[in-house]
Structure 1
Amino acid sequence: MKTTPAAHTSFVLDRQFKASAARVFAAWADPATKLRWSDCHAETTKPEFSMDFRSGGKETYRSALPDGTKLAVDKVFLDIVPEARIVFAYSMAADGHALSASLVTVEFTDTPAGSTLKLTEQLAYLDGHEDLAQRRRGTEEGLDRLLLEVDAL
């Protein structure tokens, strides 16, 4: 079986919030809130979603796109420091074919105006799949929804 070498890349996103770091962190920790702002395929069928938010805990996401493509995201939380940091690894697959594996670090810092969030994602694209612009845009859109979620209160 011939395989294509993994392709590696990364990106960093920063966001400023009016809300405190504690409030922004809480939006990552609560399963219902997290699904509300992070579901980048809201137009799909109702997703299957579960989250055990603790170090060593897992998160799973399953959905189907309008064209029938079945998406699967499997995540494990590696390190959680309340109100300060979340580190997780996740894999993404479409129709059972592995697309990528990532390590993500999310850092939260209080500021005089509210808080900042810094997200660093390191990706390994598998077997020729590459979608950096789309992945970055999807993550940006999720963070924009997070901003609306936490700053609306």
Structure 2
Amino acid sequence: MEQVVDYEIGHKTLVFERHCAAPVKRVFAAFADPVIRAGWSAPSDGAAFIYDAADFREGGEDRFRCGSKENPQYTGRTTYIAIVPDVLVVSSEVVEVGGRKLMSSLITTELEANGDVTTIRMTVQVTSLFGDQMIAGTEIGNNAALDNLVEHLV
């Protein structure tokens, strides 16, 4: 029996950069602590980002749900590949809904200290299995989350 694949493949590399008026140790802590991270990760007031498990260490895995506050229907897993405190976080992420994989990505977050200002540079290499819609959602979500992070740390 032939298997029918119902995917619309898309690829894109997204690069985000923010300058945050906070020391690099404080910025890194906002990535490392899942309680703090949950506070700035939701892209809007109507969105939810909930950690069901968090293990921020090399080889560790976070499990999360996201979407609207009324229906956080998307589930995801983040696996931490490399962590250098105050410098670098490399992770992979898979997001699905109802058992259908929607996207995967490789995320490299670099932190650069300049006194009490930290430059955050995030490169997301995304593969969407659901076409341009997931790529656009990844771009919108990461832009909003990084804006929230900068605002949270001021």
Same fold per superposition (TM over 0.5)? yes
Contact conserved, 2:20 with 2:119, CA < 8 A, in 1?
Answer: yes
Match for residue 37 of structure 1 among 40, 54, 58: 40
Distance 1:72 1:135 in 2: 14
Change (3 A) 1:66 1:54: closer
Contact 2:40 2:145 in 1 (8 A): yes
User: Equivalences for 1:54-133 in 2 at 5 Å?
Assistant: 54-63=57-66, 65=68, 68=71, 70-112=73-115, 114-126=117-129, 128=131, 130-133=133-136
Query: In 2, distance between residues paired with 1:137 and 1:93?
Result: 17
Mark the runs of 5 or more structure 1 residues left unpaired by the alignment. Answer: none
Following superposition, the deviation at residue 39 of structure 1 comes to 2.5
Question: Residues of 2 paired with 1:44 and 1:137: CA distance?
Answer: 12
Q: C-alpha displacement at 1:111, in angstroms?
A: 1.3
Does the 8 Å contact 1:21/1:114 carry over to 2? Answer: yes
| Structure 2 CA distance for partners of 1:16 and 1:41, relative to 1, 3 Å | closer
* 1:65 alignment partner AA: S
SS at match of 1:55: coil
CA distance in 1, matches of 2:61, 2:122: 19
Residues 57-76 of structure 1, C-alpha deviation per residue, up to 9 Å, x if partnerless? 00010246367462101110
Contact preservation (8 Å) 1:99, 1:129: no
TM-superposed CA distance for 1:128, in Å, is 4.1
Q: Identity of counterpart residues, as a percentage?
A: 26
* 1:33 CA displacement: 0.2
Aligned length: 151
Among candidates 1, 4, 9, match of residue 2 of structure 1: 4
* TM-score (norm. length: structure 2): 0.86
